[in-house]
Amino acid sequence: MMDPDFCFHPNDLMRVMGTGQMPCLIDVCVPEDIAAAPWRLPGARHVAHGDIREWMQTADPARPVVVICQKGLKLSHGAAALLRARGFHARALEGGNLGWFDAKRPRLALNTGSAGIASWVLPAPVTAQSLCLAWLIHRWFDDGAEIMWVPAAMVGDVAARFGAQPAPRRIETLCSQAGLDYVPLVTFLSQIDGNAAPWLPLLTALPHLHHSSEAQAAAALSIIDAAWVAAREGAA
C-alpha cells in the first residue's frame, strides 16, 4: 500500500469529484504520453513538469494539490515534492492516468477541445438547465472557467467575437462532446435534460433570492453538488 503522505488514492478522489471539495489537479504528463492516451481527468489542467516552479507562483498554497502523470511514478512524485518544499499540501495520484483510465473512472477527451476551453457563453435569464450546464463546466471541466451570461439571442455572436465557446442547449450534448461517458454522471444529467430530477424546482427559486445570473449560478453549485452526491451514492 502506498504511503498516504505521498500518494492520493483514486477512491478518495472519486468521493469528491464533481463537488466543491475537489483538490487542484495538475497533470504533468509529457507530450508523448498525451499523444498515446489523449485523455485527462475531469478538472485537471496540464502543467509541464519543468514549469511547476513557475505555476506555483500564482497558485493558492492553501488548496491541496494532486499531481498526475501517466503511471503515478517519477514525474508526479517529483512535482509533488517540489510543491511540498514550497509549502503546498501535494501528493501524487496513485496509479496515475493509466490506472485511472483502466478502472473506467471519469475522463475528458482532449481531442474534443472541451478540456482546454477557458471561456463559455450561456443564455440569460438563467434556467434550471443552464445552471446545471454551468455546474458541469465548473465541476468537471475547469473550476476557473469564465462563464459569460448574455441574452439568449446573442450567445453565438458573443462567443464568436470574444473567442469563447457557446454551450449547447442540452447538458447531455456537452457531456457527450467532451467524451465524459461516466455512467452515473450520464444518468444524472439525463434526468436533468428530461426535467425528471426532483430537486430542479430548488434551482427555479434562485431568482427570488439572487438578482444576477452570476450570483444564481454560484448559489446553484452547492445544490447541484448535493444532488450529485446523493445520486452517485444511490447508484453505488
Query: Do 203 and 125 fall into the same domain?
Result: yes
User: What residues contact residue 13 under an 8 Å CB cut-off, 6+ apart?
Assistant: 23, 41, 66, 93
Q: Which range marks the domain in which residue 158 is found? A: 111-235
CATH number for position 27: 3.40.250.10
Going by their DSSP bridges, the two strands 108-109 and 65-68 should be labelled as unpaired
Q: From 105, 123, 141, give the residue that closes a domain.
A: 105
pLDDT at 221: 97
pLDDT at 38: 93
3-state SS, residue 227:
helix
d(CA 205, CA 149): 18
Radius of gyration of the chain (CA): 18
Query: Do 11 and 89 fall into the same domain?
Result: yes
Query: Do 90 and 178 fall into the same domain?
Result: no
Cell of 173: 450534448
Query: Do 90 and 119 fall into the same domain?
Result: no
Return the bridge partners of 146, or none. Answer: 119
pLDDT at 112: 63
Q: What percent of the chain has pLDDT over 90?
A: 86
6, exposed or middle or buried, with CB in 10 Å at 0-12, 13-18, 19+?
middle
Closest among 38, 222, 205 to 135, alpha carbons compared: 222
Reported as a single tens digit per residue, the pLDDT across 36-92 is 999 999 999 999 999 999 999 999 999 999 999 999 999 999 999 999 999 999 999
Q: What is the mean pLDDT of residues 10-32?
A: 96
Reported as a single tens digit per residue, the pLDDT across 169-195 is 889 899 988 899 899 999 999 999 999
3-state SS, residue 126:
coil
Reported as a single tens digit per residue, the pLDDT across 144-164 is 999 999 999 999 999 999 999
pLDDT at 115: 57
Residue 118 placed within a domain: yes
pLDDT at 181: 87
d(CA 179, CA 106): 9
Query: Do 124 and 68 fall into the same domain?
Result: no
User: What residues contact residue 176 under an 8 Å CB cut-off, 6+ apart?
Assistant: none
Residue 2 placed within a domain: no
Closest among 38, 40, 56, 43 to 16, alpha carbons compared: 43
Query: Do 229 and 118 fall into the same domain?
Result: yes
pLDDT band for position 111 (50/70/90)?
confident
